[in-house]
Structure 1
Amino acid sequence: MDEGRSNAEAFAIQDIVIAPGTTADLAIPVSQQVGGFSAKLSLRVLHGKEPGPAIFVSAAVHGDEIVGTAIIQQLAQTIDPLRLAGTVILAPAVNIFGFLAHTRYLPDRRDLNRSFPGSKRGSLAAQLANCFLENVIERCSLGIDIHSAAVHRYNLPQVRIASGDPYLVELAMAFGAPVIIESPLRDGSMRELAAERDTPILLLEAGEALRFDRLSIDIGVSGVTRVLAHIGMIEADDGLTSVGIPARANKSSWVRAPRGGVTHRHRKSGDVVHKGDLLGTVGGLFGEEAMDMVSPIDGIVIGHATLPVVNQGDALFHIAEVANLEHAGDRIGTITEAILASQPKGPAQPLLDEDEVI
C-alpha cells in the first residue's frame, strides 16, 4: 500500500483541513441546478490518529443503487478515527441527482460510471466524474465501490475485480463475499480510471435497486471492516480464519425466458446448480403450455429477476461458472489456502451490467 497519500498530521481536501483523530463532513460543489442552487458531492472524512493509507468507500454511482448508502451509514457510525491508522473517505450518494430522482442516470441521461475521467467544462456527468476523481480517487490508494442489480433484479453479494491482479484477489478474499468474479474493465468506468492511476478498486454488487436487504448490508459492512483490518488500518481480528472460501468465476451465463407469460422460480440467488437442473417454469396467463428453464452450466446463481411477468427473451437467471464447487463455503485458515482452492479456469469474459443485457 502507498502510505504517502495519507498524513498523520493533517489531511486536506480543497480548503478543508482535517486534524488527526477527527471526522469532517464536506459538501463539495459540482454544478449549478436549474433553480440556481449548487449541487454538491457529500463526503465524510475519517482521518486516523496514526499514519496509514487513504481509502474510499462509495455508493450510488448509479443513483438508484442505494444499498451501499445503508452500508456506509453503518460504517460511519462504527469507524473510530482515534483507533484508525490512515484515512477513510465515505461517499454515500455520489450521483446525488439520480439518488434524489430514484433513477440510475443523471439529468443529462448519461451513465456516471461510463463518464470517467470527465472534465470541469464537460457535461453534468463529466463534471461530477471529474469532481470525484480530483477530490477522492486521486487522494486514495484503494477504493471500494458499492453497486446493486437493476430494477426488478437481485444480485447475490459478490465482489467484482479486474482480472489478473493478485493483490485484488487477496483483498477480495479478505472481503469475504460469497462470490468473486474477475472480468475485464469497462471503458469510462471508475475502475478503469482508477487502475490507470494505480488505485485498485473492489466493486461490491449486492441486492436490488431502490431496496435495502439485511444480507447485503451485513456482508458489505463486515467485508469493508475485514479489508480495513487486512491492510492494517484497524486493530481487529480480520476474520480470515472463519470466512468460507468464496467461489471464484470469470465466466457467466444468462438464462432467458423461452416464452412470454408468468414465471415460477425453483431456484434463487445463492443456489448451487448443475447443468440440467430445473431453475423455473414460465407459462401462459392460465399456466398453460408451461416451459422449463434449466441451467446450462455448473455454477452458482448470482442474480435473478424478481418480476414474475416476463416477455420472451427476458434474462431471468444469472449463473457464474465456478470451478471446485465442492469447496464453496468451506472454512479456510489463510488467504493463500483460499486462493489455491478456488482458482477459476480459462480467460476472463466481459461482464455486462444488468440493464445492458440484451
Structure 2
Amino acid sequence: MADTICASQGPRNPRLGEVLLAEQCVTARLSTGTTEKSSPPRGRRARKRAHLVLDAAQAHLHLDLIGLDERCTNLRFIPHKGRRGGAINANFSRDLERAQEHNNKGFGIYLQPNVGNGTKADDVTACTCLFIEFDHMSIEEQLVIWRECGLPEPTFMVLTQGRSVHLYWVFTVPIEPERWVVLLDRLHLAAPGCDQSCKGKNRMMRMAGAHYINADGESNGVSEVINVTGYRYDAAFFEETLPLLPSRQPCNRAPRKFPRTPGNLRKIAEALDCIPRRVEGSGTYSEYRNILWGLIAACAEEGYREEVAIDLMEAHSPSRECGWHIPQVARSGGEQIGPGTLFHYAKQHGWRSHE
C-alpha cells in the first residue's frame, strides 16, 4: 500500500489491533473489498437489530485505498435528512468507537477524502482523488457508467446501500486544492447527470463499514468497498483527457438593484439574480434544488431563516410558473450543501463579488 497522507506529515499510527477491535464491538476483517455487484449486501439481514456493528475492516480499507493516515482523517456524523440533530465532527483514529455509537443513534457516518487540518474548505491542504456519484439510475447502471462517460476504470467504488454508488479515482500523488477544484468541475462535465452537489474540497463521502440509516431510522445495510482495481492516476492524465470547461461569460443582463434589501443579503440576492430562471422540463431539477439549498445556507450564515431564502427563490423561479414546489424542495434535505454552492453556480453565469 502506498504511503499514507497526513496534513501534519507525521508517521502513521498502526491500525487498530484485534484487542481494540473487540473492545469497540466492531468486526475484524471479514472481506477484502473485491465484492462484485452480485454479492448480497451483508448488512440487510441486520436491519432490525437493536445494536448495529460497524465493520472496521471496511473502514480501514476505505482509508487505505485513498492512502489516508487515520490520525488525520476527518469524519462527520450526520443525521438523516429530516431527522433532528446537528452534524458532529470527529477524527477517524480517535473516534471510531463514537462513530459506531452515533450510527446506532441514527447518524450517517462520513469521511473527508481530502486532507486538511479541519472540515472547512480553507482547511484542506492536499487533494487525494476525484469522486463522483449518480442517484437517478439503477445500481447496475452506476457500476458501468464510467464506461459510457469515456472515463478510466475507477480505483474502487463504495456501495452505499442507499440509491448510489460512489466512484473514486485516486491520484498517484496528492495535488493542490486549486488544481483539484478545476479537475472535479471537468469530471462533472464529462459525466452528465451526476450529482452536482458532490463537490467541494471539504466534501464528506459516506464511509465504508458504517450502516446506511434510512428515513425511518433503520439500517439498509453496511456501506462497503467493491470493485477494487487499485489503479492510481497522475492528475496530468485527467488534465489531458477530461473536457475543458466552457469560457465563463459575464452576466449579460444588468444586475438589478436591491435598495430595500439589507446589506448582508444584497450580495446573496445579486448572485441569485445572475442565475437564469428555472425552466420546467429542462432536466435541471437537481441543479436548482442544490442552488436553493445553497441559498438557504447562505441566508442562514447571515442570520436569516429558511423562509427568507424561500421568498427569494419564489421571486426568482416561482413554484407555479417553473414546475416545482419550492417550500417542499427546501425541506427535503441539503444538510451537506453550503453557501458556496449558490456562489459557485452564480459564477458559472458570470457573477463576481464586488467586495
Task: Judge same fold: TM > 0.5, yes or no.
Answer: no
Q: State the TM-score, normalizing by the size of structure 1.
A: 0.29
Q: Higher RCO, 1 or 2 (CA under 8 Å, sep at least 6)?
A: 2
- Return the structure number with greater helix share: 2
Q: TM-score, normalised to structure 2's length?
A: 0.29
Compare the two structures and name the one with the higher strand fraction. Answer: 1
